[in-house]
Amino acid sequence: MHIEVAAAQFAPSKGDYAANLETVGRVLGQLEQSGTPPDLVVFPETALTGYFLEGGVGEHALSADRVFTDLLTTYRTHVVRPGAVVDVAIGFYESRNGHCYNSGLYATLTSAQTPDTEPALRHVHRKFFLPTYGVFDEERFVARGRSIAAFDTRLGRIAVLICEDAWHSISGTIAALDGAQIVAVLSASPGREFGSDGIGNLRRWDRLLQALAEEHGIFVVYAGLVGFEGGKGFTGSSSIYDPWGHVMARGSAIEPCIVRARIESSDIGLARRATPLLADLETALSDLVRQLEALGARMDPGGGR
Amino acid sequence: MSVGAQLKVIRAADFDPASDRYLDMDCEVVAEWLCAFLKDEVVRRRGFSRVVIGLSGGVDSSLTAYLCACALGSEAVVGVRMPYRTSSPDSLEHASLVADKLGIECRTVDISDAVDGYLRTAPDADQRRRGNVMARMRMIVLFDLSAGLPALPVGTGNKTERLFGYFTWHADDAPPVNPLGDLFKTQVWQLARHMGVPDVIVSKPASADLIVGQTDEDDFGISYARADRILHLLLRGFTAERLIEMGFSADDVRLVKQKVDSTHWKRHMPTTAMLSSTSINDYYLRPVDY
């Protein structure tokens, strides 16, 4: 199965949900006009508000249903072709049960005249690992998600991870064990550690995403914010990795852009048969779970040992 | 391997406290990043089309002017020379050299009368107070020009002087935008060379030029090169004991640590007494660009 995937990076207007929604609509409209409309478009973490809101998170957090409804309306404003369908993954600050989350939703959007496919909000991933160190202060302003899961889509089984989620290899492992064939990674990564060999966080992202794709034989679609917020610039570099860990396309570290690739889902089988690490893991999983449970029991509630 | 032969040993190199490799940068990438920062911060967020920079003739303000001209265009940059009557003639000449090279507008505002007018009320002011008055007068000029032109003041302070507290509070540190504040002085030199700042400026001894013959490194009691290597590691959590163990001079480490530890207050806004649970910047937290 061929799947046209895209990752779109832009600099959101701080706290301006309507303007950012319009940007998303324009991107989807541009892609629709491209001659080869994508099947899946991944947008960055907090694309609808900007990342650093601090105590302003509560003023901008919305329900996933509201964001889905607005995305659908925006899509239908910009895409009118009968039969048009696109899946999107996008980051936003979510309000749910009185809590705020750093979330990513996955939805299927359709034009108004697409009777064969129902638009649907398919999944909401709430960021599991909240960075609260250095320049980050997420745990102060948002609550932690409690699960990492893959879900079924018309394009196969997919999982969404948000930024630091993907810095822990276990997140990708759980997603792959749950059947994910594509992992969408939504990110807002401030540039830091500028050294003689480039930008430190970008080098690390490349290692992590390559390893995520290569270890499990999955496609990885990474979308990163660009632009500056209070002197902190996000490093974009949206990219698509094949199941062998090769970069298929990569965007700028500074400028807004869209990266695209045509992926072939049967490549997953080719990569996994050559290096069946995921199958090995499945075989060994029960032993590992026993070990993890024992380790978990030895940790004190504060996280130490 | 024959019986009895010894295996070849490959050993990691020992840490070299005289090496600058941890401070080396890909200057092409850094310049591009800082230009993007200036465009975003000056034009998009704050809505200015011009900037104003105090040109001292030193490497920090020269590099700042080069970055601003690269990011915004020469026509968008106004350099201001603000000499006091004891300022070095070289400083004025080097500031002009930068303005000429970049093709930017260059103004000169002599602060001698304004500074001396105030100092007549404080005849016993020592060199430190006199230097602070000069620095604060330059800030007044910069912000008044900002309002008149209009143009956004761009700061020029580097990370080393910020960490050493080697600046006048609410003067050199006052401009709302600063592209160099996270670069150590030795990194400023690297980037300045890359950007083509004239060698006569990059290579001369750094000086605040508030006292005749003054140099930064004499004031510090340590060279920038040695200080930056220590600062780089101190800020990453390496203890003084560990640094000494790694081969740094104990005197150098103590000197650098003392300067950083005694100047935290200069890197903060004024201390406000908290009385409520909505105290600004304690409870009520909104980012600068909100």
Torsional sign, CA A263, A267, A271, A276: positive
Give CA–CA dist A50/A226, Å, rounded. Answer: 10
Does residue B199 sit within a domain?
A: yes
Whether A83 and A226 share a structural domain: yes
Whether A301 and A261 share a structural domain: no
Whether A286 and A262 share a structural domain: no
Does residue B106 sit within a domain?
A: yes
Q: Which of A195, A229, A253 sits opposite B289 (nearest CB)?
A: A229
ipTM score: 0.91
| B21 neighbourhood in chain A, CB within 8 Å | 196
Side-chain half-sphere CA neighbours of A245 within 13 A: 13
Whether A293 and A220 share a structural domain: no
| DSSP assignment letter at A35 | S
Q: Which of B21, B285, B289 sits opposite A14 (nearest CB)?
A: B289
- From the candidates B22, B24, B35, B40, which should be mutated to test the interface with A, based on the most A CB atoms within 10 A? B40
Interchain pair A233, B21: CB under 8 A: no
Confidence class for position A301, pLDDT limits 50, 70, 90: low
Main-chain dihedrals φ then ψ at residue B278, nearest 5 degrees: -130, 25
- From the candidates A54, A142, A203, which should be mutated to test the interface with B, based on the most B CB atoms within 10 A? A54
Interchain pair A230, B285: CB under 8 A: no
**CA torsion, ordered B13, B19, B25, B26, to nearest 10 deg:** -60
Name, in order, each residue with C-beta under 8 angstroms of B155's C-beta and a sequence gap of 6 or more.
B64, B172, B173, B174, B175, B176, B177, B178, B180, B181
Q: Which of B29, B41, B287 sits opposite A54 (nearest CB)?
A: B287
Does residue B12 sit within a domain?
A: no
Name, in order, each residue with C-beta under 8 angstroms of B215's C-beta and a sequence gap of 6 or more.
B205, B206, B207
Whether A22 and A75 share a structural domain: yes
Among A19, A75, A6, residue whose Cα is nearest residue A49: A19
CATH of the domain at A247: 3.60.110.10
* DSSP per position, chain B: --TTPPPP---PPPP-TT--GGG---HHHHHHHHHHHHIIIIIIIT--S-EEEE--SSHHHHHHHHHHHHHH-GGGEEEEE---TTS-HHHHHHHHHHHHHHT-EEEE---HHHHHHHHTT-TT--HHHHHHHHHHHHHHHHHHHHHHTT-EEB----HHHHHHT-S-TTTTT-SSB-SSTTS-HHHHHHHHHHHT--HHHHSSPP---SSTT--HHHHHTS-HHHHHHHHHHHTTT--HHHHHHTT--HHHHHHHHHHHHT-GGGGSPPP----STT-BTTTB---TT-
Q: What's chain B's average pLDDT? A: 96
Whether A227 and A303 share a structural domain: no
Q: Which of B29, B33, B287 sits opposite A53 (nearest CB)?
A: B287
Compute the nearest-CA separation of B106 from chain A (Å).
27
Among B119, B175, B114, B166, residue whose Cα is nearest residue B145: B175
Range of the domain at B88: 21-206
Range of the domain at A145: 2-266
A91 touches B: beta carbon within 8 Å: no
Compute the nearest-CA separation of A183 from chain B (Å).
29
Among A201, A208, A242, A194, residue whose Cα is nearest residue A225: A201
Whether A260 and A282 share a structural domain: no
**The Cα angle at residue A167 between residues A162 and A171, in degrees rounded to 5:** 70
- Per residue of chain B (290 residues), what is the pLDDT tens digit? 677 799 999 999 999 999 999 999 999 999 999 999 999 999 999 999 999 999 999 999 999 999 999 999 999 999 999 999 999 999 999 999 999 999 999 999 999 999 999 999 999 999 999 999 999 999 999 999 999 999 999 999 999 999 999 999 999 999 999 999 999 999 999 999 999 999 999 999 998 877 778 899 998 999 999 999 999 999 999 999 999 999 999 999 999 999 999 999 999 999 999 999 999 999 999 999 99
| A191 neighbourhood in chain B, CB within 8 Å | 33
- For chain A, where are the alpha helices, taking DSSP H only? 17-32, 57-60, 64-78, 138-141, 164-167, 169-177, 200-216, 267-274, 277-298
A196 touches B: beta carbon within 8 Å: yes
Interchain pair B285, A228: CB under 8 A: no
Q: Total structural domains in chain A?
A: 2
A116 touches B: beta carbon within 8 Å: no
CATH of the domain at B179: 3.40.50.620
pLDDT at A237 (0 to 100): 98
Cis amide leading into B150 (omega within 30): yes
Does residue B8 sit within a domain?
A: no
Distances (CA, A) of A154 to A50, A106, A182: 29, 12, 12
Whether A284 and A167 share a structural domain: no
Whether A237 and A174 share a structural domain: yes
Q: Which of A56, A198, A230 sits opposite B29 (nearest CB)?
A: A198
Whether A167 and A295 share a structural domain: no
| B41 neighbourhood in chain A, CB within 8 Å | 228, 231
Does residue B171 sit within a domain?
A: yes
* Closest chain A residue to B180, measured at CA: A231
Does residue B77 sit within a domain?
A: yes
Interchain pair A231, B21: CB under 8 A: no
Whether A162 and A55 share a structural domain: yes
Q: Total structural domains in chain B?
A: 1
pLDDT at A303 (0 to 100): 57
| A53 neighbourhood in chain B, CB within 8 Å | 287, 290
Q: CB-based burial of residue A210 (10 Å sphere; 0-12 exposed, 13-18 middle, 19+ buried)?
A: middle
Does residue B173 sit within a domain?
A: yes
Residue range B1-46, pLDDT digits in tens: 677 799 999 999 999 999 999 999 999 999 999 999 999 999 999 9
Q: Which of A52, A196, A228 sits opposite B37 (nearest CB)?
A: A228
